[in-house]
Amino acid sequence: MITVRDVAKRFTLHNQGGAVLEVMDGAALEVGAGECVGLVGASGAGKSTLMRMIWGNYRIDAGSIRVAGVELAGAAPRDVIALRRGTLGHVSQFLRVVPRVPTLEVVAEPLRVLGMDATEAETRAGAILSRLNIPERLWPLSPTTFSGGEQQRVNIARGFVHPWPVLLLDEPTASLDAGNRAVVLSLIEEARNRGAAILGIFHDEGARTQVCTRLVDVSGFAVAA
């Protein structure tokens, strides 16, 4: 479902003397349906860079990344938007939302975009919020005022509210207590068991052992400084 071949990435810092940072070269990996692959490697080795290229917010300078058959290198914005709408899900580390929008709507939004009616979408959003222990009295409030752990769980709820066939997870268990961590890990296992292709960064070693079917060390893709 995810195929990365010979991918290179560099950053050109035009406003810092035109410095060119070659950060990645020859990156390759494959994630099939029903797999959960964990990216490992020291801080700065390029785990997040690789994830961002697959999500589409970093440009791919060379090589090819295909997600569910769609080539992302040089893809038109509308193709990436369509891919994200129904196929490629993402749990980032930060929640970015329009202020004032109630939590329930934030979580239901991906379903609404897919054309589901409001009642059904909000019922599903409520179910996943309950599972992640976000009390119902918080649902009508904007998550911008929530604690870090609560925001993270809202983010996770949004990332699991639709059964995306491909999922990218960036530190999904960071800043969660033991109980909520267990809920998130079981959500990941369920997604994997229904056949989702999952790629994630987990600094939490226990989590990695529990959910990952395989690890890929990105250190080999890094360009030596």
Partner 1 sequence: MSGAHPLLSVQGLTKSYGARRGCADVSFDLWPGEVMGIVGESGSGKSTLLSCMAGNLTPDAGAVVFDTRTSGPRDVLAMPEPERRMLARTDWAFVHQNPRDGLRMGVSAGGNVGERLMGVGARHYGQIRAQATDWLGRVEIAAERIDDRPAQFSGGMQQRLQIARNLVTGPRLVFMDEPTGGLDVSVQARLLDLMRGLVRQMGLSAVIVTHDLAVVRLLADRLMVMKDGLVVEEGLTDQVLDDPQHAYTQLLVSSVLQV
Site residues (vs partner 1, CB under 8 A): 11-15, 52, 56-59, 77-78, 80-82, 96-101, 112-113
Q: Are 79 and 70 in contact (CB under 8 A)?
A: yes
The β-bridge relationship of strands 36-40 and 62-67 is: unpaired
Which of 28, 101 has the CB closer to partner 1?
101
Least gap, CB of 59 to partner 1 (angstroms)? 5
Residue number, 16 or 177, with CB nearest to partner 1: 16
Residue closer to partner 1, measured from CB, 101 or 183: 101
Give the residue with the Cβ less far from partner 1, 99 or 135: 99
Q: What's the min distance (Å) between Cβ of 41 and partner 1?
A: 20
String of DSSP letters for the chain:
-EEEEEEEEEEEETTTTTEEEEEEEEEEEEE-TT-EEEEE-STTSSHHHHHHHHHTSS---EEEEEETTEE-TT--HHHHHHHHHHTEEEE-SS----TT--HHHHHHHHHHHTT--HHHHHHHHHHHHHHTT--GGGTTS-GGGS-HHHHHHHHHHHHHSS--SEEEEESTTTT--HHHHHHHHHHHHHHHHTT-EEEEE---HHHHHHH-SEEEEGGGGBPP-
Minimum separation from the CB atom of position 98 to partner 1 (A): 5
Of 12 and 209, nearer to partner 1 (C-beta) is 12
Cβ proximity to partner 1: between 69 and 77 the closer is 77
Compute the least distance from the CB of residue 2 to partner 1, in Å.
Answer: 18
In the complex, minimum distance from the CB of residue 14 to partner 1, in angstroms, rounded to a whole number:
3
**Distance between start and end Cα atoms, the chain:** 32
CB 34 within 8 Å of CB 196: yes
Cβ 73 to partner 1 shortest distance, Å:
12
Instruction: Compute the least distance from the CB of residue 211 to partner 1, in Å.
Output: 27
Q: Which is nearer to partner 1, 42 or 114 (CB)?
A: 114
